């Protein structure tokens, strides 16, 4: 589209907005009638560790949202010289799971407990046994039940619990709803009805019946919607909360809010059966849309859904690029100490590509990227760690390679169960997120980890905010199409991206590394206990 056409689209209120709250950045993407991005904005933020909880404050949330949207407006003004007054649709997304409980007055009862917390092990184990269905520690129901087990004071006052994007959507529309994909990270979903599993709801209510609470579980959970559903309209108060300039008008339709797993599936065209995607940023997760149910529950595997309710096998790990980024920053400081200003994109690219020159198995080096706990390997806390023996091949190439390998180490342990033990078939895996920004490197290493071809699309860098905008576009423009067909026909047009096949030497090297990784977990455990 030409600038004049884009300008007209924005002025006529035909553009569509997606905003996603990631772990380190809130990102907004505006798309035109062809579903391609035409403007963007962002706001950097960081979670904080307070009183043993990983959290973001309410001020963090609302100030971050407003700053992100204001940054988008600056981009629109700079490139097109217009203001946004109306939009055809809006969608909100965020990092999945976590715990936000509210009372009758709509007041938050405890600080936001994010997905990053690994403090609900007792609840997770008991609910997994009760439901015969794996309940991860980060899921909302695990947080709720752990708070009950802990006899926390706020439990009796709860009248609504939601997740981050559910909160934003609620405050901007007045609607207490959630997309089915995100709902499946709050409580198990029955894909046949695209709603919470009724049998499990009853089991939970029976479990806590003797507590005498004034609520039943289904009464305090958000209503479940699927992709394409109308999820309410922007209220006057919501418009003011989002746009501090006061130009945005009320009445704009919103689509169901979705988690970052769902938007990742959409942004990589991975919502059909036998497709999969890996999102690799601060955290990392792999998702494969299943043809059939798994044979049994696995602690390492989560069962969630696509935004349309199809069952998905998911491997979610808390840690991915944080330690890798920290090491790159050390090299930046080193360069600056010599008076050399470094372009960060070039620095990342240089160091990542150096990893491809290393030994297949990283020369015997070992690293753990555990900034926080890692449930797949049984850690409630983490300590970033680099270890080598005196005879390891310690050079820059192997050092960068081991830090890239370990970014996918926990993920591989879970994916091996899904693909090897369960024999799940996947025709295509698409990578997206920060790990794949340097062309070919993260892609090649993921192909080695999963022993499968990995594609990366040109749009991979657009990420979940773009995926959320696409879900809003689907709501507005679906015209009876399925989400699969809409993405294939109206968005991707058959584009499969660039594909890298696994290299046999790299696969063997990664397998050797993962054996070292598993044996070395005792070292990581000692670090947690000693530091």
pLDDT, tens digit, 9 for 90 and up, residues 287-313: 999 998 899 999 889 899 999 999 999
The CB density around residue 302, as the number of other CB atoms within 10 Å, is 27
Strand partners, 285: 279, 316
The least confident of 288-297, 310-319, 453-462 is 453-462
pLDDT in tens, 26-44: 999 999 999 999 999 999 9
Beta-carbon contacts of residue 384 (< 8 Å; ≥ 6 apart): 322, 323, 326, 368, 369, 370, 371
Query: Is pLDDT above 70 for 462?
Result: no
Strand partners, 317: 284
Tokens, residue 375: 């449930």
Residue 460 pLDDT class (50, 70, 90 cuts): low
Confidence at residue 293, expressed as pLDDT on a 0 to 100 scale: 87
Instruction: Report the percentage of the chain scoring pLDDT > 90.
Output: 85
Burial class (CB in 10 A: 0-12, 13-18, 19+), 382: buried
Separation of alpha carbons 191 and 374, rounded Å: 28
Confidence at residue 207, expressed as pLDDT on a 0 to 100 scale: 98
Confidence at residue 426, expressed as pLDDT on a 0 to 100 scale: 85
Residues 486, 491, 493, 498: what is their CA dihedral angle, to the nearest 10 degrees?
Answer: -130
Q: Which one, of 16, 474, 484, lies nearest residue 229 by Cα?
A: 474
Query: Is pLDDT above 90 for 457?
Result: no
With beta carbons less than 8 A apart as the criterion, state whether 445 and 503 touch: no
Beta-carbon contacts of residue 348 (< 8 Å; ≥ 6 apart): 328, 437, 438
DSSP character string of 186-237:
TS-EETTTTEE-HHHHHHHHHHTGGG--S--HHHHSPEEE-TT----B--HH
Q: Distance from first CA to last CA of the chain, Å, rounded?
A: 56
With beta carbons less than 8 A apart as the criterion, state whether 135 and 124 touch: yes
Residue that the structure tokens 């990631």 belong to: 22
Query: Is pLDDT above 90 for 324?
Result: yes
338 by DSSP, 3-state: which? coil
Q: State residue 428 phi and psi, 5-degree precision.
A: -155, 130
Query: Is pLDDT above 60 for 461?
Result: no
pLDDT in tens, 217-260: 999 999 999 999 999 999 999 999 999 999 999 999 999 999 98
Residue 354 pLDDT class (50, 70, 90 cuts): very high
Beta-carbon contacts of residue 55 (< 8 Å; ≥ 6 apart): 47, 48, 49, 111, 112, 113, 114
Separation of alpha carbons 406 and 368, rounded Å: 6
The least confident of 44-48, 201-205, 345-349, 372-376 is 372-376
Confidence at residue 299, expressed as pLDDT on a 0 to 100 scale: 86
Tokens, residue 281: 């940023």
Burial class (CB in 10 A: 0-12, 13-18, 19+), 460: buried
Residue 264 pLDDT class (50, 70, 90 cuts): confident
Q: State residue 7 phi and psi, 5-degree precision.
A: -55, -45
Looking at residues 459-484, what average pLDDT do you find? 89
Mean predicted lDDT score pLDDT of the chain:
94
Separation of alpha carbons 294 and 272, rounded Å: 17
Confidence at residue 317, expressed as pLDDT on a 0 to 100 scale: 92
Residues 331, 336, 341, 346: what is their CA dihedral angle, to the nearest 10 degrees?
Answer: 0
Question: Rounded to 5 degrees, what angle do the CA atoms 111, 114, 116 make?
Answer: 135
Beta-carbon contacts of residue 123 (< 8 Å; ≥ 6 apart): 135, 137, 142, 143, 144, 145, 146, 148, 149
Looking at residues 322-331, what average pLDDT do you find? 96
Residue 81 pLDDT class (50, 70, 90 cuts): very high
Query: Is pLDDT above 90 for 340?
Result: yes
Query: Is pLDDT above 90 for 283?
Result: no
Residue 510 pLDDT class (50, 70, 90 cuts): very high
Confidence at residue 107, expressed as pLDDT on a 0 to 100 scale: 98
The CB density around residue 10, as the number of other CB atoms within 10 Å, is 24
Confidence at residue 503, expressed as pLDDT on a 0 to 100 scale: 96
Confidence at residue 375, expressed as pLDDT on a 0 to 100 scale: 81
Question: Rounded to 5 degrees, what angle do the CA atoms 200, 205, 209 make?
Answer: 150
Q: Which residue pairs, CB below 8 angstroms and at least 24 apart, start in 172-175?
A: 172/92, 172/234, 172/235, 172/238, 172/239, 172/241, 172/242, 172/254, 173/231, 173/232, 173/233, 173/234, 173/235, 173/238, 173/254, 174/232, 174/235, 174/238, 175/223, 175/231, 175/232, 175/254
Separation of alpha carbons 60 and 467, rounded Å: 23
This prediction has a pTM of 0.83
Query: Between these two residues, 493 and 471, which has the higher pLDDT value?
Result: 471
Query: Is pLDDT above 70 for 125?
Result: yes
Domains, in order of start, for the chain: 265-319+424-473+482-499 (3.30.420.40), 322-410+505-530 (no CATH)
Looking at residues 447-474, what average pLDDT do you find? 87
Looking at residues 390-413, what average pLDDT do you find? 97
Looking only at the bridges linking them, the beta strands covering 223-225 and 177-179 are parallel
Q: Which one, of 152, 190, 168, 519, lies nearest residue 366 by Cα?
A: 519
pLDDT in tens, 155-200: 999 999 999 999 999 999 999 999 999 999 999 999 999 999 999 9
Q: Which one, of 321, 322, 347, lies nearest residue 332 by Cα?
A: 347
With beta carbons less than 8 A apart as the criterion, state whether 181 and 239 touch: no
With beta carbons less than 8 A apart as the criterion, state whether 280 and 260 touch: no
The CB density around residue 263, as the number of other CB atoms within 10 Å, is 33
- CB hemisphere CA count around 511 (13 angstroms): 10
Separation of alpha carbons 421 and 510, rounded Å: 18
Query: Is pLDDT above 70 for 20?
Result: yes
Residue 316 pLDDT class (50, 70, 90 cuts): confident
The least confident of 128-132, 359-363, 372-376, 469-473 is 372-376
Looking only at the bridges linking them, the beta strands covering 428-432 and 275-280 are parallel
Beta-carbon contacts of residue 418 (< 8 Å; ≥ 6 apart): 286, 288, 301, 313, 315, 424
């Amino acid at each position: 589209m030409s600038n004049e056409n884009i300008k007209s689209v924005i002025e006529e209120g035909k553009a569509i907005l997606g905003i996603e709250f990631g772990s380190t950045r809130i990102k907004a993407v505006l798309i035109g009638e062809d579903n391609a991005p035409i403007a963007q904005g962002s706001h950097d933020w960081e979670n904080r560790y307070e009183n043993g909880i990983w959290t973001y404050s309410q001020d963090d949330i609302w100030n971050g949202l407003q700053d992100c949207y204001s940054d988008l407006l600056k981009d629109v003004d700079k490139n097109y010289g217009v203001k946004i007054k109306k939009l055809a649709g809006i969608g909100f997304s965020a990092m999945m799971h976590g715990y936000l409980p509210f009372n009758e007055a709509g007041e938050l009862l405890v600080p936001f407990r994010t997905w990053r917390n690994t403090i609900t092990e007792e609840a997770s184990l008991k609910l997994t046994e009760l439901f015969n269905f794996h309940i991860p520690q980060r899921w909302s129901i695990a947080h709720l039940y752990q708070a009950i087990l802990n006899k926390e004071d706020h439990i009796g006052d709860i009248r609504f619990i939601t997740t981050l994007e559910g909160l934003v959507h609620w405050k901007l529309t007045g609607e207490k709803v959630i997309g089915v994909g995100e709902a499946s990270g709050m409580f198990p979903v029955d894909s046949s009805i695209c709603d919470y599993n009724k049998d499990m709801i009853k089991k939970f209510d029976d479990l806590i019946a003797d507590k005498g609470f004034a609520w039943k579980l289904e009464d305090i959970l958000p209503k479940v919607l699927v992709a394409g559903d109308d999820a309410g309209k922007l209220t006057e108060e919501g418009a003011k909360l989002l746009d501090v300039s006061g130009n945005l008008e009320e009445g704009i339709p919103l689509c169901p809010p979705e988690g970052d797993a769902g938007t990742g599936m959409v942004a990589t065209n991975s919502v059909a059966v036998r497709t999969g995607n890996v999102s690799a940023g601060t955290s990392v997760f792999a998702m494969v849309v299943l043809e059939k149910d798994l044979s049994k529950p696995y602690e390492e595997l989560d069962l969630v859904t696509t935004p349309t309710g199809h069952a998905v096998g998911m491997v979610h790990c808390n840690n991915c690029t944080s330690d890798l980024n920290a090491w790159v920053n050390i090299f930046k400081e080193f360069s600056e100490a010599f008076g050399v200003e470094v372009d960060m994109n070039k620095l990342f690219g240089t160091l990542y590509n150096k990893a491809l020159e290393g030994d297949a198995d990283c020369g015997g080096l070992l690293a753990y990227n555990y900034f926080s706990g890692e449930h797949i390997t049984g850690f409630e806390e983490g300590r970033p760690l680099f270890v080598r023996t005196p005879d390891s091949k310690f050079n820059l190439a192997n050092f960068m390679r081991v830090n890239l390998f370990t970014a996918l180490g926990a993920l591989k342990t879970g994916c091996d169960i899904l693909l090897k033990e369960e024999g799940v078939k996947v025709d295509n895996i698409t990578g997206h997120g920060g790990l794949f920004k340097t062309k070919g490197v993260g892609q090649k290493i993921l192909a080695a980890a999963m022993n499968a071809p990995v594609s990366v699309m040109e749009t991979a860098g657009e990420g979940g905010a773009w995926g959320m905008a696409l879900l809003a576009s689907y709501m507005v423009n679906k015209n009876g199409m399925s989400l699969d067909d809409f993405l294939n026909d109206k968005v991707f047009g058959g584009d499969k991206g660039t594909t890298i096949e696994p290299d046999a030497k790299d696969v063997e090297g990664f397998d050797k590394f993962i054996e070292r990784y598993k044996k070395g977990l005792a070292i990581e455990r000692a670090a947690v206990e000693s530091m």
